[in-house]
Amino acid sequence: MKFFCLFIFLLSLISMPVSSQSAKNEPVHLILDTDIGPDYDDVGAIAIFHTLADKKEMVPLAILSSNKNEFVCPVISLLNTYFGRPDLPIGAPKGFAPNIGSAKHWPEMILGEFAHSVRSTDEVPNAVLVYRKILASQPDHSVTIATIGFLTNLANLLDSKPDEQSSLSGIELVRKKVKLLISMAGKFPQGREFNLFTDTTSSVMVFKNWPSPIQFSGYEIGAAIKTGAGLISDNTVLGPVKQIFSFCMSKSAEDRNGHMSWDQTVVLVAVRGAAPYFGLQRGHITIKGGTNAWVNDINGSQAYLTPLTSNEQMSRVLENLMSQ
């Protein structure tokens, strides 16, 4: 009996890494929430989103807009169609929300070049209803949400009431279904950043009340990583992503050697995790008047990314995924 128990114990030790590795290799179930339009790094992020889905590293659940601008959801529809997922759910806010277009007018340019089924952002369902329907259908603690825009939709989701999709309130539904929120918001350890201060009320509400762990890719991370130059010079790459980067970079002397890559880092980390690309500084965010600060806490459920890999290496990783 003693030898039998020892055998069972050793067998359990041998099987533990296999079980852990199997769980690690499970594809991430991902919802992407974007303000695509004011800037075009979102386009690179959506390209990476579809590439990682093609690689079976991720199950794409939806791409939602936090921006009410009329061209946003047509652009999302165009990119989803181009990448072979024309029926991927799209949603947008229906009440108060930012409505911000592009100073470079690239959405208007690209919408005349490629097929898309959505003609205006007004046509798509309420983002909160899309969130609630998808979350209710997913296994518990299985969904990652990557937000690369305003926190408007997520604040509305937390504030939502039980409906035909779920008997749970918004915050209860998030607590039950979401395992991680990763957000391109804030500047660390302190500063002022566009996504956070554009809808400060929603940012404060979400980051104070969100019941799952939160990771932040701050302004300083993407500002140092430039992408687009290699994409443009690669003659084997075609399609809307290349056209948008070529069009926008040609209009900006600052972007001649590449555009800042805030949003791409979020999608990469949402699917592959922070390591080996980034470290995590744990603690929690504080927000006052649209400006954020940080309180360190090794046991905190929030964390912001810190660089572990050179900016040049990160550029290569992101551009490779954007180009596929």
Tell me the pLDDT tens digit for each residue of 213-256.
999 999 999 999 999 999 999 998 899 999 999 999 998 888 98
Query: Is residue 131 predicted with pLDDT exceeding 70?
Result: yes
Q: What percent of the chain has pLDDT over 90?
A: 88
Q: Using one digit for the tens of pLDDT, what is the confidence trace for 73-89? A: 999 999 999 999 999 99
Please give the pLDDT value at position 252.
86
Please give the pLDDT value at position 182.
98
Q: Domains of the chain (ranges plus CATH)?
A: 27-323 (3.90.245.10)
Structure tokens at 300: 């905190």
pLDDT interval class at 22 (50, 70, 90): very low
Mean pLDDT of the chain: 92
Dist. CA 28–CA 25, nearest whole Å: 9
pLDDT interval class at 106 (50, 70, 90): very high
Query: Is residue 5 predicted with pLDDT exceeding 50?
Result: no
Please answer whether residues 42 and 148 qualify as being in contact, where contact means their C-beta atoms are separated by less than 8 angstroms.
Answer: yes
Query: Is residue 7 predicted with pLDDT exceeding 50?
Result: no
Query: Is residue 11 predicted with pLDDT exceeding 60?
Result: no
Q: Which DSSP letter does residue 92 get?
A: B
Predicted TM-score (pTM) of the model is 0.92
Q: Which DSSP letter does residue 323 get?
A: H
Query: Is residue 34 predicted with pLDDT exceeding 60?
Result: yes
Please answer whether residues 100 and 38 qualify as being in contact, where contact means their C-beta atoms are separated by less than 8 angstroms.
Answer: yes
Dist. CA 322–CA 324, nearest whole Å: 6
In degrees and rounded to multiples of 5, residue 188 shows phi and psi of -120, 145
Nearest residue to 62 via CA among 96, 88, 24, 99: 88
Dist. CA 261–CA 45, nearest whole Å: 9
Query: Is residue 287 predicted with pLDDT exceeding 90?
Result: yes
Please give the pLDDT value at position 32.
98
Dist. CA 50–CA 78, nearest whole Å: 13
Provide the H-helix boundaries in the chain: 2-24, 41-54, 72-82, 106-111, 127-137, 152-158, 170-177, 194-198, 200-209, 219-223, 229-233, 240-250, 262-272, 311-323
Rg (CA), the chain: 20
Q: In sequence order, what are the beta bridge partners of 180?
A: 144
The number of beta carbons lying within 10 Å of the beta carbon of residue 323 is 18
Dist. CA 322–CA 50, nearest whole Å: 9
Please give the pLDDT value at position 14.
36
Dist. CA 110–CA 84, nearest whole Å: 17
pLDDT interval class at 20 (50, 70, 90): very low
Query: Is residue 19 predicted with pLDDT exceeding 70?
Result: no
pLDDT interval class at 24 (50, 70, 90): low
Dist. CA 190–CA 60, nearest whole Å: 32
Query: Is residue 304 predicted with pLDDT exceeding 90?
Result: yes
Please answer whether residues 216 and 186 qualify as being in contact, where contact means their C-beta atoms are separated by less than 8 angstroms.
Answer: yes
- Ramachandran class of 56: left when φ > 0, alpha when ψ lies in -120 to 50, beta otherwise: left
Query: Is residue 160 predicted with pLDDT exceeding 50?
Result: yes
